[in-house]
Structure 1
Amino acid sequence: MASVQRKRRRLGARASRAANLDVTVQKGIFMNVLNPKVSLFFLALLPQFVHPSAGQIPQQMLVLGVIFLVQALVVFTLVSIGAEKLRHWLLSNERIARRIHWLKGVLFAVIGIQIAFSERS
């Protein structure tokens, strides 16, 4: 009976992580769609690489946009994987993990002191 309950808990945890991942991906897509930097990049930089003599301008912009999206996907995926591996390595070492937690505490204390002694304008 206890093994069945443990199995149900593990399945529930997996479903919860999958749901959290879905929500995170949806938030990421929503934030990127509303990000003005991407629009400004496409409007300011990509037209420099479009040549009217090379054919349809919308098709050229579409190809350049797809190239940009693919390279961004690759770079962000590699950065995410690297960050997760670094996080795991740092937190698996107890001495480093303690120092990170201590440093976070000091940082929050300094921020709190700055806020407490700051003047309102």
Structure 2
Amino acid sequence: MITFDYLLTSLIVVALPGTGVIYTLAVGLGRGRKASIWAALGCTLGIVPHMAASILGLSALLDTSAIAFETVRYLGVAWLLYMAWGMWHGTGAMKVTANDTPTSILKTLRDGILLNLLNPKLSLFFLAFLPQFVSANTPDTTGEMTVLGLIFMGITFGVFAVYGCFAAALRHRIIERPNVMRWVGKGFAAAFVAMGVKLLTAGR
């Protein structure tokens, strides 16, 4: 059953600053509103495998398999540091471009997908989060968890898109000040490094 508590909790979880929020903000500042929508979509698609694994019970395997968890964890840390490097040097998500090309759109989607796909904590989060809101007497647990998951995805995309559009609205004020743009990029890069360290040191 879809409850107000579930909607409110999901909104709070999604709205909290994380890698997806920072990535979408960076793309909005660097490439504008349309690109930020693609970034939001990529981040949303990146949670699909984690959500599916939770619904099917496969994320429990990740929790019990140290090798699988650590492999995904280190890949995730490496990707966060790679993204941080690009933001620091102004060649990644913060690179200022006027128009989107098919190549840049695919790259934006890919980067957003990998940011969430390579975070093993998401599988464990959904494994713990979704079942709390499944009705005790439901005849179809899988179906209800699927609906809950789809709603969470919708909220994720909506919130990230709002963040991206907000950043895009400020874009012209910031890109006219190269020094400000450079320091914003370095700030985003530092945030990604911090999140990489957090992922590296966090326990299962």
TM-score (norm 2): 0.37
Partner of 1:58: 142
- 3-state DSSP of counterpart to 2:101: helix
Tell me the C-alpha RMSD between the 2 structures. 2.8
Task: Say whether 1:100 aligns with 2:184.
Answer: no
Q: Indicate whether 1:83 and 2:167 are aligned.
A: yes
1:73 lines up with 2:153 in the alignment: no
- Runs of 4 or more, structure 1, over 6 Å off, are none
**Which consecutive unaligned segments of at least 5 residues does structure 2 have?**
1-97, 187-204
Rate the CA distance shift 1:25–1:99 in 2: closer, same or farther, 3 A.
closer
Q: CA deviation at 1:21?
A: 1.7
- Structure 1 residues not aligned, in runs of 5+: 1-12, 108-121
Identical amino acids, percent of aligned pairs? 37
Instruction: Give the aligned residue type for 2:180.
Output: I
Q: Does 2:121 align with 1:37? A: yes
Would you tell me which structure has more helix in proportion to its own residues? Answer: 1
Correspondence for 1:118:
none
Task: Tell me the matched-pair count.
Answer: 88
Rg larger for: 1
TM-score by length of 1: 0.59
